[in-house]
Structure 1
Amino acid sequence: MASSEATPTLGNRGHTSKVPQSKKPKVRPPRGWRDKVPFPGRALPTYTGPYSVGTMEIEVPVREPTSFSPIKRDGHHALRLETVLMTVYYPTQYGDYNLKNHDSKLSRELWLGRPRVDVARGYGRFAGIGSLGIPIFGPAMFTKLPAYRNAPIAGHWAPSVDIKSEGMKAKFMAGDKPEGGPDKPCFPLILFSHGLGGTRTMYSTVCGEFASYGFVVCAVEHRDGSGPRTYVNHPQSGVGSIAEREARGYVDHSPKERHRGYDVIDYIFPKDNPLDTSPHGKVDSDLRRAQIDLRLAELEEAYHIMAEIHAGNGHEVAHRNLRRKGYKSASSRGLDGIDWSRWKDRFHLHNVTACGHSFGAATVVEMLRHDDRFNYLSQGIIYDIWGAGTLPPEEDQPEHRIRVPIIAINSEAFTYWPDNYELVSSLVDETYEEPSPSPAWLLTLRGTVHISQSDFSLLYPNVSSIFLKMMANPERALDLNINASLEFLNHVLPPEVAQNNRAYKNEGLLENTTSPLSRIPSIQMNKPKEKYTAMRLSIRHEWLYRISPKLVRRMKRHQAHRQGREPESFDEIWLHFKPTSEILHRYRREKLGVISPEEKQAGESSSSSQSQDEKSSTVQSSSSPGPAETEEVEKNRSI
């Protein structure tokens, strides 16, 4: 079980690894001239799935405004729930990956958000560099998402091809519907929770990639003081106005907020403990617990809004939307141009996936532990969880445990944080617990750092490489995160839900031989000095690597090719834990009604061996592992 590897003995720092062997990232053809030449505001890379991607920006008043903690700043409650803000990423129509050629009214959402200078200043404050955040984020002020707002939701099935084989033509094509499937696909839903310093667009590449492979992703912007800066809008009167919010809920506002009609929420630093996120710091548990409580309420509200859209009432959501002309930080487009009838019954409200990064992953864990409250969730994806900010399981409520499949994907930098690795390992143990164990995987992406699962590493690759010692190609790191997540979802989603996912290349990342952390040779590791734990990696012969990280990676691939060895998945990941065949088959049989080929063959063999007379022999249950499977079970249990 995972607990045996909870506190592994890692190799000493003196034997750090060379740059890990890696494959090339997926093909991402440039969209235009800004992707082909150096430009301060170059676009984020094109999504690699067969669908083009659309976005919607929604902010609506919540049903029950309230405050979540007595914590105050400037004499007023700091953690207030008044509206919910989210960006929805979704598959859009085929015909042209650059949809603006067909409709000049279509625009693209800003990555940084309005007002850009003020949001950049908020990032500077969060990073401890003050106004220096403005010039650093200057190039990002021109960056827009490679997706068009308010584009029509896709009404076609994706082709079973990818961009590597067909190029951008894949986004012009429609595929055949699967046997027995509806004429229009019904897409799986993902709820996404960002980490500290994040926003609803900070993980746009992860969310957009999922959408390009046939998912609807609802990315919530948390107003819990965990983001750099966010704006809460209020109408002048009626539902959602400051007067109405204060009358209905336990919320209060300053005279300045009442005058201007919106709230500004900056990052909240713990009092007397601003560095509680450090591996050597003490977490402000009161603040973090209250923030998670607020986050859970926001995600509930976001799901409620998605349910309204699913029911065909999107026009009512649009009427209440506060991200339209005349409101702070909003686009003048609002939700104009959306045909809400096309959204009715077009995504699943059950078998929903909860996904999050860092503190967002801690939020996902709390959601999964409360299936009485989030009974529509059926699995979770945990990117580089911040263990110190994760709430411990409630000892007096054993029913609040993870009882659904999870996949935890660590950066290499966070894997060297012993307490954090122990926490994520314990989550795997929790998922495996009887009487109803669920499949769980834990893997580490070699050469990656904490921001490798966000847009930062794509927009600032040199900063990530020079200061954080990131060695993995940021696009390849993204590919590994998405491919492993898609493999996981294909394992645990019902077949009728997973059938949208037909055009990605299955690399078999989750089929690798397990690599217990304590057994990994220190020569493969990039463990930094203790004071840099979780913050960055350490690179052997760094001066050579600094000349050109891209060139070094290319030379390694060329050298390996000359030796007749191509990169393998175990060159790029360490798969620490995976479920036994027994657990995986049992879950798929009991929860999804899917019989594995091995079980089906065993059943057919047992049927043919039965006697033709009335005396039927006793047949061993298909849930019992055979000799080869028993060996695999014992091998995995020894981990």
Structure 2
Amino acid sequence: MGGTQSLGLPHGKGPHAVGCTDVMVGQNQKGLFFRLFYPCVSQEGAEQPFWIPRYEYYCGLADYMNMNRKWCAPLLSVTFGSCRIPVSWDAPLKPSKNKYPLIIFSHGLGAFRTVYSSVCAEMASRGFLVMALEHRDHSASATYFCKLEPEASDFPEAPVQEEWLSYRGVPKDQKEFRFRNPQLHQRANECIRGLKLIRNIKAGKAAVNLLHTDFDLSLLKDNVDLSRLAVMGHSFGGATAILALVKEAQFKCAVALDAWMFPLENSLYPKVTKPVLFVNTETFQTADSLAKMKKICSMNEETKLITILGTVHQSQTDFTFLAGNLVNRVFQTRGTINPYEGLDITNRAALAFLQKHLQLKEDFDQWGGLLEGVGDAVIPDGPLQKSSL
């Protein structure tokens, strides 16, 4: 059989070793659940977390793909069950005199907090804290929250009960926009809640992580720079990032990876006055969607739109590396470009953009040409131009 089966997730290319931990706060659906990627103290022989954290997510992916859980979940588990993320689980945070800028990351439809580990780990290796949310609007293929047994509320160590939320498609009797737009607002509000949590930690309030990891959240107090704050996301998460940028004054800029523009209401476009970087893949965007991006581009000359040639919608997720040939053929997880090269372009463009708009003193401006669509496999604007050549 020709070609590699699966490639393995890339390691971060920056100077920092990367750690990650999971955080869940609040004992109801209105709490917050995320994976934190961060620069860590290098650990010899540290545990690397599994890419798919629990079996329930395989069931959720089966639901999202409209497949029978009975055979699909075990098949996904065999395919991906041994995949690990090349980061150190629960490693100590590396203290920083300059403090780390923060990126809040929003996942796409049917995804969850670990599906963008390649992008998140790369950003952390470059000196960012990355809060990869797991949204509770029923757009994740699966997620859960913890609730205390009512009689156990007097005991802080009492066992918590998990309640799982499954993926929901658009009901047959409902217009898609009417279903997706409220989800979008919930997602943007969850991004803002993530920021509020960090604000509270910086103000010295204790955050209780229900998941009892070894990571000390209070260390974030002196190591996060909330004047350097960006929001980022893929697909539905790209639209979420744009809405969060409008809703929350503290977000300086947004990086929208192959944004799904459909759920954004038209009245929002004139309000997107802060810089956005649109990094599109070659095959996903429609003319209508690109027209919406152009409207946003007209609001600020620092807003940029580029397309990476040879990429597909999944090229900006971990699936592009981990799906073998069969899965790739069925689900189009890989384009014609080398997956590592495609993701490098995405990451470098994002880093150059973040350096500019968060005023970072790094060398990411070496990739500034990408923001103008200059470079191999990248063009300015959308892919539709090519047909007119």
TM-score by length of 1: 0.54
CA distance in 2, matches of 1:221, 1:121: 16
CA distance in 2, matches of 1:574, 1:239: 58
CA distance in 2, matches of 1:154, 1:100: 15
- In structure 1, the residue matched to 2:370 is 509
3-state SS of paired residue (2:310): coil
Does residue 1:378 correspond to 2:265, yes or no? no
Does residue 1:215 correspond to 2:107, yes or no? no
Q: Deviations over 1:484-505 (max 9, x none)?
A: 01111122222xxx12x34785
- In structure 2, the residue matched to 1:261 is 161
- In structure 1, the residue matched to 2:19 is 54
- Residues 83-102 of structure 1 correspond to what in structure 2 (within 5 A)? 83-93=31-41, 96=42, 99-101=43-45
CA distance in 2, matches of 1:464, 1:390: 31
Query: Which of these residues, 322, 327, 333, is aligned with residue 210 of structure 2?
Result: 322
- In structure 1, the residue matched to 2:244 is 367
Q: Deviations over 1:414-458 (max 9, x none)?
A: 24x2222222222212x23xxxxx511100000101111111101
Closer/same/farther in 2, CA of residues 266 and 339 from structure 1, 3 Å limit: closer
**Unaligned stretches of 5+ residues in structure 1:** 1-37, 66-80, 157-183, 242-259, 274-281, 324-333, 433-437, 514-568, 578-639
3-state SS of paired residue (1:142): coil
Q: Deviations over 1:302-322 (max 9, x none)?
A: 112222333454xx32xx322
- In structure 1, the residue matched to 2:310 is 447
Aligned residue type for 1:225: H
Shift of 1:296: 2.4
Shift of 1:461: 5.3
CA distance in 2, matches of 1:474, 1:39: 13
Are the aligned partners of 2:351 and 2:364 in contact in 1 as well (CA < 8 Å)?
no
Q: Deviations over 1:171-198 (max 9, x none)?
A: xxxxxxxxxxxxx221111111111011
Are the aligned partners of 2:184 and 2:263 in contact in 1 as well (CA < 8 Å)?
no
Shift of 1:335: 2.3
Does residue 1:479 correspond to 2:344, yes or no? yes
Shift of 1:391: 2.3
- In structure 2, the residue matched to 1:110 is 50
Closer/same/farther in 2, CA of residues 261 and 342 from structure 1, 3 Å limit: closer
Closer/same/farther in 2, CA of residues 47 and 422 from structure 1, 3 Å limit: same
Shift of 1:507: 6.4
Q: What is the total number of aligned residue pairs between the two structures?
A: 371
CA distance in 2, matches of 1:201, 1:346: 23
Shift of 1:58: 0.6
3-state SS of paired residue (1:188): strand
CA distance in 1, matches of 2:180, 2:151: 32
CA distance in 2, matches of 1:240, 1:136: 38
Give the number of the structure whose alpha-carbon radius of gyration is greater: 1
Query: Which of these residues, 37, 52, 67, is aligned with residue 129 of structure 1?
Result: 67
- In structure 1, the residue matched to 2:92 is 152
CA distance in 2, matches of 1:341, 1:269: 38
Are the aligned partners of 1:56 and 1:88 in contact in 2 as well (CA < 8 Å)?
yes
CA distance in 2, matches of 1:207, 1:509: 20
Are the aligned partners of 2:143 and 2:166 in contact in 1 as well (CA < 8 Å)?
yes
CA distance in 1, matches of 2:272, 2:82: 42
Does residue 1:392 correspond to 2:266, yes or no? yes
Closer/same/farther in 2, CA of residues 422 and 443 from structure 1, 3 Å limit: same
Query: Which of these residues, 456, 474, 480, is aligned with residue 319 of structure 2?
Result: 456
Shift of 1:142: 1.8
- In structure 2, the residue matched to 1:358 is 235
Shift of 1:361: 1.0
Aligned residue type for 2:378: I
Are the aligned partners of 1:50 and 1:503 in contact in 2 as well (CA < 8 Å)?
no
Q: Deviations over 1:18-76 (max 9, x none)?
A: xxxxxxxxxxxxxxxxxxxx998x852211111111112111117xx6xxxxxxxxxxx
CA distance in 1, matches of 2:313, 2:218: 40
- In structure 2, the residue matched to 1:298 is 190
Aligned residue type for 1:122: G
CA distance in 2, matches of 1:239, 1:198: 33
Closer/same/farther in 2, CA of residues 138 and 573 from structure 1, 3 Å limit: same
Does residue 1:308 correspond to 2:200, yes or no? yes
Aligned residue type for 2:369: G
Shift of 1:238: 7.8
Closer/same/farther in 2, CA of residues 439 and 505 from structure 1, 3 Å limit: closer
Does residue 1:82 correspond to 2:30, yes or no? yes
CA distance in 2, matches of 1:384, 1:240: 44
3-state SS of paired residue (2:26): strand
Query: Which of these residues, 115, 119, 137, is aligned with residue 224 of structure 1?
Result: 137
Aligned residue type for 1:477: G
CA distance in 2, matches of 1:130, 1:375: 44
CA distance in 2, matches of 1:239, 1:286: 39
CA distance in 2, matches of 1:193, 1:240: 32
Query: Which structure shows the bigger proportion of residues in strand conformation?
Result: 2
Closer/same/farther in 2, CA of residues 465 and 402 from structure 1, 3 Å limit: same
Aligned residue type for 1:572: A
3-state SS of paired residue (1:377): coil
Closer/same/farther in 2, CA of residues 39 and 439 from structure 1, 3 Å limit: closer
Aligned residue type for 1:268: R
Q: Deviations over 1:226-251 (max 9, x none)?
A: 0111111112248989xxxxxxxxxx
3-state SS of paired residue (2:35): strand
- In structure 2, the residue matched to 1:490 is 355
Closer/same/farther in 2, CA of residues 503 and 356 from structure 1, 3 Å limit: closer
Identity of aligned residues (%): 28
Closer/same/farther in 2, CA of residues 389 and 272 from structure 1, 3 Å limit: same
Structure having greater relative contact order (Cα 8 Å, sep ≥ 6) = 1
- Residues 122-201 of structure 1 correspond to what in structure 2 (within 5 A)? 122-131=60-69, 132-155=72-95, 184-201=97-114
- In structure 1, the residue matched to 2:220 is 343
Shift of 1:122: 1.3
- In structure 1, the residue matched to 2:386 is none
Closer/same/farther in 2, CA of residues 481 and 394 from structure 1, 3 Å limit: closer
**Unaligned stretches of 5+ residues in structure 2:** 155-159, 383-389
- In structure 2, the residue matched to 1:573 is 378
Aligned residue type for 1:216: L
Closer/same/farther in 2, CA of residues 340 and 367 from structure 1, 3 Å limit: closer
CA distance in 2, matches of 1:283, 1:457: 31
- In structure 2, the residue matched to 1:636 is none
3-state SS of paired residue (1:107): coil
Are the aligned partners of 1:457 and 1:464 in contact in 2 as well (CA < 8 Å)?
no
3-state SS of paired residue (1:360): helix
Aligned residue type for 1:113: P
CA distance in 2, matches of 1:472, 1:283: 36
CA RMSD of aligned residues (A): 2.8
- Residues 261-300 of structure 1 correspond to what in structure 2 (within 5 A)? 261-272=161-172, 284-300=176-192
CA distance in 2, matches of 1:287, 1:439: 32
Shift of 1:210: 0.4
Shift of 1:292: 1.6
